[in-house]
């Protein structure tokens, strides 16, 4: 606790004022009188000065401790921010690579023209992907007894699911961010997915990796908020 300077001054001069008040003011020519005066002043001031020194040392230690705590807090925050930055860099790279992967799923569609000449039309990767995932879900839902792996036997969907599995496992298992932040990044990732994709991932993951599925349930990943229209 910091002692005001004015209080120290008062405590310092209080013994002198007390001595003058009781014994009067004047200069003695007797050495014994000066000896008594010195003993009185020293006997009163020494404890006060010692106590003041102790308080000053303790206050100095408190300041040093507070400064050290603040340095530690800033260092811990910086370490956490660096970890979070590393996580986000990897996370968004995953998303970019996933989009590039889907766009690469081009498919050549053969058809006959009005001139009776076979033609080939290249179907964009994202259209091909959405068509494959819709067809796979439709076929799987016709027979609930099918093995879950039949849902991803399509080469395109097998590659897609492996990539999705790695992204979700990275979010669920990472130590680079806090648990309460994982829900936020799950929502970011989920916003990239269509309703059919969420349905596909839910069915496949619940059977293939139940442990990861249960972790993601906590983050409400499988709830498709916009799957149904307005009431």
pLDDT value of position 230: 43
Categorize the per-residue pLDDT at 200 as very low, low, confident or very high, splitting at 50, 70 and 90: very high
Q: What's the CA gap between 41 and 47, in Å, rounded?
A: 11
Domain edges within the chain: 5-79, 104-218
* pLDDT score of 193 more than 80: yes
Contact 175, 184 (CB under 8 A): no
Residue 119 has pLDDT above 50, yes or no: no
Question: Above 90 in pLDDT, residue 94?
Answer: yes
Q: Nearest-5° angle of CA 140, CA 142, CA 148?
A: 25
Q: Which residues contact 152 (CB under 8 A, 6 or more apart)?
A: 136, 158, 161, 204
Q: What value does the mean pLDDT of the chain take?
A: 80
pTM above 0.85, yes or no: no
């Amino acid at each position: 606790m910091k002692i005001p300077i004015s209080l120290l001054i008062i405590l310092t001069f209080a013994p002198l004022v007390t001595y003058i008040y009781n014994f009067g003011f004047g200069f003695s020519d007797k050495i014994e009188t000066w000896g008594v005066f010195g003993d009185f002043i020293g006997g009163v001031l020494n404890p006060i000065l010692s106590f003041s020194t102790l308080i000053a040392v303790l206050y100095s230690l408190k300041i040093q401790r507070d400064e050290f705590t603040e340095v530690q807090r800033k260092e811990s925050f910086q370490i956490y921010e660096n970890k979070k930055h590393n996580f986000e860099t990897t996370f968004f790279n995953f998303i970019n690579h996933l989009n590039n992967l889907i766009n690469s799923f081009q498919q050549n569609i053969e058809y006959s023209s009005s001139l009776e000449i076979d033609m080939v039309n290249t179907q964009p990767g994202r259209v091909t992907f959405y068509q494959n995932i819709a067809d796979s879900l439709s076929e799987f839902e016709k027979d609930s007894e099918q093995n879950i792996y039949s849902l991803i036997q399509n080469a395109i969907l097998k590659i897609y699911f492996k990539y999705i599995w790695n992204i979700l496992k990275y979010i669920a298992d990472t130590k680079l961010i806090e648990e309460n932040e994982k829900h936020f990044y799950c929502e970011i990732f989920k916003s990239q997915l269509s309703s059919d994709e969420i349905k596909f991932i839910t069915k496949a993951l619940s059977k293939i990796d139940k442990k990861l599925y249960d972790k993601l349930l906590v983050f409400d990943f499988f709830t498709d908020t916009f799957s149904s229209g307005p009431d």
